[in-house]
Chains A and B, each alone.
Chain A
Amino acid sequence: MSDAPILVVGGGPAGTSAAATLAEAGLPVLLVEQRDQLGGAIHRQVARGATHAVHAPARHRRNWAELAQRVDAAGSRIELCTGTVFLGVDGDGRHLLDDRESGRVVARSVRAAVIAVGAVEKIHPFEGWDLPGVMTAGGAQVLLKETGVPPTGPILVAGTGPLLLAVSAQLAKAGNPPVAVLERGRPWVRFNSLLRMAWAGPQLGEAASYVATLLSHRVPYRTGADILSVREDDVGLEIRVRRNGTVHRLRARHMLVHDGIEPNRVGIPLSDPGGAVPVVLAGDGREVLGADAAILDGRRAAREILARLGMRLPEPGEARLTAARNVQAALSDLFRSALPEPTPETLICRCEARRLSDFRSLPDDASTREIRLMGRFGMGVCQGRFCGPTIAALRGEAVPSAIPPRWPLRPVSLAALADLKTDDLES
């Protein structure tokens, strides 16, 4: 067992940093990433074969160059499996990997696991959020990084948080500035939080450069704006917005929405650093601390595993993680705002086409089980990654996810599962 690899799931900054740290300590690592290239959300790489440049702050480019170099230097100590989806841990404790290229599911025995699957964007639903043409702002951003080409036609960006600025500036630089950026919060009036942000040096500089880009492209940035509904017609989307008590109608071809991010924890194994096969979570999938902290958190996760195996430890980085936590707290305070109530017709669960009126017809004291089985919320193919936060907000308390975690994390073909291969049997 001691020559079994350490599994690292996720090739973003957290997973890559954990994998490099473990390999540098002399351990064999199995690094699994669902995409064809490492990079994750922040360092999403240009499609192989494309040549455009991605506009990103120099600090991020340096960080990624350094991580990629460490993975290269580890050579064969890191076995890299791209195009492979981690499905979870089955009832027998086997780690299941779906190799999309061969259409095979493989079960691997591992010595320990670091799970670094990143965050998902939160979306506060409004009538029409489920229409084609509506997309998450971060999703549009990673596609832009991949292709270098912005969506064609007028784009409206709406929701809350600093990512709205980043995406809008990148769209402008790529040649299609948004028609407007609608921020629900009123960050300018929260002086105290602004002051608390004052020492978040690099992030503030980054935000200032995005604002400058938007100004030079004359993109209006409006705060205190609530999205009421979106309708589609032959030419695109009509968006109803309420600002200072007045309702406005705007038109766009694409609408990019974003209400912050939260750890992608649905179905993910629970953290169990003391278990027979230790499991440690890392990066934004553990706690949303941002891109720079994800690198430190990957190393922290690797340290936890090295400590458990009685090996020599690299330097800790806890102090900088605490600083990142303070920045995130100040940011969420800066953009804090009340959520508008969706209309009864608003889809809450897109997968199972369940509306707010369906949710309201459940008893007030409905248990999680009843919400799932009677209401069919959180039962669809996305496993509640998107309706979960909405239902938690409507109920005023979190909906506990299924325990033990459900696998597979993603739909997998029955043929591939039936053909399951176990490495113990193969070798």
Chain B
Amino acid sequence: MMTRIFWNDYVVPFRPGETIAAALGRAGIINLGPAGGPARGRVFCGIGACQACVVAIEGGAPVEACLTLARDGLRIGSMPAVVVSDE
């Protein structure tokens, strides 16, 4: 069985039973973007509390990478940038 997910067009292999965060980490992907945003995504607390690892998922609601198991063929990507207002 092929086990891989797609991170913004990168192919990321994973071991069955592993979270998205674990798969991205093994592939050396620590910057979850978006590029240029003031606070980029990254796996931080590892326990679902900080929401910094939330990734967009094709065809579904965004999920925490640290809680969600990788599934074969899953397409994920960075969340839109946080907008900072300069008042």
Contacts and interface: CB of A to CB of B under 8 A. Distances in A.
Contacts, number: 122
Interface size class of B (residues with CB under 8 A): 35 or more
A405 interface: no
Interface residues of A, number: 50
Contact of B50 (A47, A100, A143, A386): A386
A408 interface: no
Given A50-B15, A130-B40, A151-B30, 20 more contacts: A34-B67, A36-B17, A49-B18, A103-B60, A131-B42, A135-B46, A136-B44, A139-B43, A139-B47, A139-B66, A140-B46, A142-B46, A143-B66, A146-B19, A147-B25, A264-B49, A347-B38, A381-B54, A412-B61, A416-B61
Contacts of B17: 36, 47-50
Contact of B32 (A132, A134, A138, A410): A132
A381 B61 CA distance: 15
A382 B66 CA distance: 14
B28 interface: yes
B47 A415 contact: no
B76 interface: no
Given A34-B67, A139-B66, A347 B39 contact: yes
Contacts of A380: 51
Interface string B1-36: 000000000000001111101100110101110000
Interface in A402-426: 410-413, 415-416
B82 A351 contact: yes
Those 9 A-B pairs whose CB atoms lie nearest each other, nearest first: A139-B46, A413-B61, A48-B17, A49-B17, A132-B31, A132-B42, A47-B17, A49-B16, A381-B51
A415 B45 contact: no
A47 B15 contact: yes
B38 A353 contact: yes
A61 B62 CA distance: 35
Interface of A: 34-36, 41, 47-50, 85, 100, 103, 118, 120-121, 130-136, 138-143, 146-147, 149, 151-152, 254, 264, 347, 350-353, 380-382, 385-386, 410-413, 415-416
A353 B82 contact: yes
Contacts of A133: 30-31, 42
A76 to B, nearest CB: 25
Interface of B: 15-19, 21-22, 25-26, 28, 30-32, 38-52, 54, 60-63, 66-69, 82, 84
A45 to B, nearest CB: 10
**Of B45, B47, B51, B62, which is in contact with the most chain A CB atoms at under 10 Å from its CB?**
B47
16 contacts: A41-B47, A47-B19, A49-B18, A100-B68, A131-B40, A139-B45, A146-B18, A147-B26, A254-B30, A264-B49, A347-B38, A351-B51, A386-B49, A386-B50, A411-B51, A415-B61
A19 B19 CA distance: 26
A408 B84 CA distance: 24
Query: Interface residues of B: mostly helix, strand, loop or mixed?
Result: loop
B30 A385 contact: no
**Of A49, A142, A143, A385, which is in contact with the most chain B CB atoms at under 10 Å from its CB?**
A143
A232 to B, nearest CB: 9
Given A121-B45, A134-B42, A350 B25 contact: no
Given A147-B25, A353-B82, A413-B61, A382 B19 contact: no
A346 to B, nearest CB: 12
Contacts of B84: 353
A125 B31 CA distance: 19
Nearest to A149: B26
Given A48-B17, A146-B19, A351-B82, A135 B69 contact: no
Contacts of B30: 132-133, 151, 254
B47 A382 contact: no
Contacts of A416: 61
A36 B69 contact: yes
A34 B43 CA distance: 17
Contact of B18 (A35, A147, A386): A147
B32 to A, nearest CB: 7
Given A147-B25, A151-B25, A134 B43 contact: no
Contact of B49 (A47, A147, A149, A385): A385
A385 B50 contact: yes
A308 to B, nearest CB: 30
B30 to A, nearest CB: 5
A285 to B, nearest CB: 11
